C-alpha cells in the first residue's frame, strides 16, 4: 500500500484514525504519550558530540559526497526499488530515518507526497494512530537557505571541531548541520505545543525525519492559508488568529523566522502554525528583532491575497503589546 497518489488512496484501507485533527488534542496528553521524546528541553540545543558521533558524521558525509542529495518520490524511498536491494535485509525504506521509524513501529507506510519545500519534503504516512505527517529533510547543500547564518546565531555548537566543520562546509560539517536543523524543529514543535500554541503534535524524530500529527482527515489535507478559499469573514478571522499565535510565540521568547500564509494551515476554521527550523530566540540571537519585523511584513503582504489590508508597523506594535500581555498573564499563575 505504497507509492500511490493521494486521490487513489481508499479511506477504508487505513488503520483506525485518531489524533488526525488539531482539536482532538489536549496539551496534557503530551505528558502521558509513549511517543514523546523525554528530556528534550530548549537548553539541549547545544551539540556536544563525542568521538563516536563525530566518526558517524564523517562516515555519513562520505556517503553524501558519493551520492548527490535529491528529493525523492514515495516509490524512490522504498528499499525494494533500489538497485542494491537485498531481500534478506528485510528493509522497507532506503532512508535510514524512515527505516528506524518503521522498525520501532511508528511508521507503517508512506501513501502520498503532500508538499515539497526548500528544506524538506512532507509525505502522508500511516502509523499506529492512522494518518501521520512525515517530514524528510533534504541535504543542506541543496536546501537553499540564503541566510543560514542569520538563523544559526542562536544555536550553540559545543564541539569546536564540529563548529569548524560546519563553517567550512565539510561533508561531516554538513551532516552535523542537517542534524541541527532537524533537532531544532522537533524541539521547537515540542516547546510550542506544550505552550498551547496550535502546531502539529511532534511524535518522534530519527535521522533526517520528523514524524508528526497530520492536520486533515482521510479525505483531504488541511490547505495552507495561501491556497485556501476564504470568505471575507474567514480571512479576517484567520488574520486575527495568526497575529495572536505570533504574539504567543513572542511571549515565549521565540520568533518564527518565516511567518506567512505559506506556513499557516486552515483547518476547521482554525489556524495551525507549521515549519519551525528557522525559529530564533530573542534572548540569544541579535537578529531576532529584525526577523520579527520581517515576519510581520511577510504576514501582512501574503494576507493581501485575501484582501486583508494591514499596515506592518501598527501590526508589529499590536503583536508586541499582545505578547507582553500574554507574558504577564503567564507569570501571574
What is the residue extent of each domain of the chain? Answer: 6-213, 232-327
Least confident of 12-21, 226-235, 238-247, 296-305: 12-21
Kindly indicate the confidence band of residue 57, based on its pLDDT and cuts at 50, 70 and 90: very low
Helices 232-251, 312-331: axis angle to 10 degrees equals: 50
Kindly indicate the confidence band of residue 274, based on its pLDDT and cuts at 50, 70 and 90: very high
Residues 53, 159: Cα–Cα separation, whole Å: 11
Say what the pLDDT of residue 217 is. 94
Whether 6-213 and 232-327 share one fold: the answer is no
Residues 323, 209: Cα–Cα separation, whole Å: 32
Closest by alpha carbon to 95, among 207, 212, 181, 4? 207
SS3 of residue 249 by DSSP: helix
Residues 232-327, CATH architecture: Orthogonal Bundle (1.10)
Least confident of 101-105, 167-171, 319-323: 167-171
Say what the pLDDT of residue 45 is. 40
In sequence order, the 6+-apart residues with CB closer than 8 A to the CB of 233 are none
Contact 319/283 with Cβ under 8 angstroms? no
Rg over alpha carbons for the chain, rounded to the nearest Å, is 20
Say what the pLDDT of residue 26 is. 35
Kindly indicate the confidence band of residue 163, based on its pLDDT and cuts at 50, 70 and 90: low
Residues 286, 292: Cα–Cα separation, whole Å: 11
Kindly indicate the confidence band of residue 120, based on its pLDDT and cuts at 50, 70 and 90: confident
Say what the pLDDT of residue 309 is. 97
Kindly indicate the confidence band of residue 55, based on its pLDDT and cuts at 50, 70 and 90: low
Least confident of 46-55, 59-68, 81-90, 203-212: 59-68
Contact 9/111 with Cβ under 8 angstroms? yes
6-213: CATH topology: Phosphorylase Kinase; domain 1 (3.30.200)
- Residue 234 is placed in which grid cell? 474567514
What is the number of helices (H) and of strands (E) in the chain? 10, 9
Say what the pLDDT of residue 31 is. 34
CA-CA distances (angstroms) from residue 126 to 15, 71, 200? Answer: 7, 20, 16
Q: What does pTM read for this prediction? A: 0.73
In sequence order, the 6+-apart residues with CB closer than 8 A to the CB of 68 are none
Contact 125/109 with Cβ under 8 angstroms? yes
SS3 of residue 40 by DSSP: coil
Say what the pLDDT of residue 131 is. 97
Overall average pLDDT of the 151-174 stretch: 54
Say what the pLDDT of residue 179 is. 74
The half-sphere exposure of 256 on its side-chain side, counting CA atoms within 13 A, is 26
Kindly indicate the confidence band of residue 186, based on its pLDDT and cuts at 50, 70 and 90: very high
Residues 255, 21: Cα–Cα separation, whole Å: 25
Contact 190/180 with Cβ under 8 angstroms? no
- The separation between CA 283 and the C-alpha centre of its own chain, rounded to angstroms, equals 22
For residue 21, pLDDT over 50 is answered with no
Residue 272: which H helix or E strand, with range?
strand 270-273
Amino acid at each position: 500500500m505504497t507509492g500511490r497518489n493521494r486521490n487513489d488512496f481508499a479511506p477504508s484501507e487505513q488503520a483506525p484514525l485518531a489524533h488526525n485533527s488539531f482539536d482532538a488534542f489536549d496539551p496534557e496528553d503530551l505528558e502521558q504519550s509513549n511517543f514523546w521524546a523525554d528530556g528534550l528541553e530548549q537548553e539541549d540545543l547545544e551539540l556536544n558530540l563525542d568521538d563516536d558521533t563525530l566518526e558517524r558524521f564523517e562516515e555519513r558525509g562520505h556517503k553524501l559526497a558519493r551520492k548527490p542529495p535529491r528529493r525523492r518520490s514515495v516509490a524512490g524511498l522504498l528499499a525494494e526499488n533500489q538497485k542494491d536491494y537485498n531481500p534478506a535485509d528485510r528493509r522497507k525504506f532506503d532512508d535510514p530515518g524512515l527505516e528506524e521509524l518503521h522498525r520501532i513501529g511508528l511508521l507503517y507506510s508512506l501513501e502520498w507526497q503532500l508538499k515539497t519545500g526548500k528544506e524538506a519534503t512532507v509525505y502522508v504516512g500511516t502509523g499506529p494512530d492512522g494518518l501521520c505527517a512525515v517530514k524528510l529533510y533534504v541535504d543542506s547543500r541543496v536546501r537553499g537557505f540564503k541566510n543560514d547564518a542569520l538563523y544559526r546565531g542562536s544555536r550553540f555548537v559545543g564541539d569546536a571541531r564540529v563548529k569548524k566543520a560546519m563553517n567550512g562546509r565539510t561533508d561531516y560539517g554538513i551532516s552535523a548541520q542537517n542534524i541541527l536543523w532537524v533537532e531544532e524543529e522537533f524541539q521547537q514543535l515540542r516547546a510550542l505545543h506544550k505552550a498551547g500554541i496550535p502546531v502539529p503534535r511532534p511524535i518522534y524524530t530519527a535521522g533526517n525525519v520528523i514524524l508528526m500529527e497530520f492536520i486533515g482527515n482521510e479525505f483531504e489535507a488541511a490547505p495552507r492559508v495561501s491556497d485556501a478559499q476564504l470568505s471575507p469573514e474567514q480571512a479576517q478571522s484567520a488574520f486575527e488568529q495568526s497575529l495572536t499565535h505570533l504574539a504567543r510565540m513572542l511571549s515565549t521568547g521565540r520568533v518564527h523566522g518565516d511567518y506567512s500564509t505559506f506556513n499557516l494551515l486552515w483547518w476547521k476554521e482554525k489556524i495551525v502554525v507549521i515549519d519551525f527550523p528557522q525559529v530564533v530566540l530573542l534572548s540569544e540571537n541579535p537578529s531576532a528583532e529584525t526577523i520579527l519585523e520581517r515576519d510581520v511584513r511577510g504576514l501582512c503582504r501574503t494576507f493581501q491575497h485575501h484582501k486583508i489590508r494591514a499596515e506592518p508597523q501598527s501590526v508589529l506594535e499590536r503583536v508586541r503589546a499582545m505578547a507582553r500581555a500574554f507574558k504577564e498573564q503567564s507569570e501571574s499563575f
